[in-house]
Amino acid sequence: MSISVPAPVRGFFRRHPRLTRALELAVRPFEAASKKVVFGCKMCGQCILHETGMTCPMGCPKTLRNGPCGGVRMDGRCEVIPGMMCVWVKAERRSRWLPWGGAILKVQPALDWSGAGSSAWINVLADRQGKEAS
């Protein structure tokens, strides 16, 4: 994750796994509900919204995290769901408005599916993804 969390915070969460788990249980429904309404969040557990122009890449039928596929229609719509605008067409457009829009150029590693369903917020604070999460 590119959001840097101060070492003492990470350390705190590392030292208190049970507290982290309790906090996660409390935060998760709130995170899921709010991000679902605003961004169509799929709770992948490794949020990169801020690097994709605040557009959730998991809404892409191919769940592409590094850019659009070659099948985007000429009008910018998705090849799989013609009624939907391509997630990456939106991401590219929106990232131009963000001061940190260049983050869209970052090469995103493969998603750790063992962390799917967990709270990305807590994962960032605890500096973890995947296995240990959820």
Partner 1 sequence: MTRPIAPVLRLEEAFRSGLPVVTCEIATGDGADPDEVLRRVRLVRDHVDAVNVPDNTAGIVHMAAWAAAALLAREGVDPIMHVTCRDRNRMALQSDLLGAAALGVRNILCLTGDHMVHGDHPGAKPVFDLDSLQLVSLATVLRHGRYLSGREIRPAPALFPGATENPFAPPYDFRPLRLQKKVEAGARFIQTQITFNVKRFAAFMERVRDLGLDRTVPILAGVAPVRSARSARYMRERVPGMEVPDAIVRRMEQAGSERARREDEGIRICVEIIEQLREVRGLAGFHLLPIHWEEAVAEIASRARLTPARASLSAHVEATARDAGSADARRDDREGALLNRHREHRA
Chain residues in the site for partner 1 (CB under 8 A)? 61-76, 79-80, 86, 88-89, 92-93, 104-105, 107-111, 113
**Shortest CB 18 distance to partner 1, Å:** 29
**Shortest CB 52 distance to partner 1, Å:** 12
User: Are 55 and 41 contacting, i.e. CB atoms less than 8 angstroms apart?
Assistant: no
**Shortest CB 2 distance to partner 1, Å:** 15
Q: Which is nearer to partner 1, 28 or 65 (CB)?
A: 65
Q: Which is nearer to partner 1, 30 or 113 (CB)?
A: 113
User: Which contacts of 108-114 are long-range, i.e. CB under 8 A and separated by 24 or more positions?
Assistant: 108/48, 108/51, 108/65, 108/66, 111/44, 111/46, 111/63, 111/65, 112/45, 112/46
Q: Which is nearer to partner 1, 43 or 86 (CB)?
A: 86
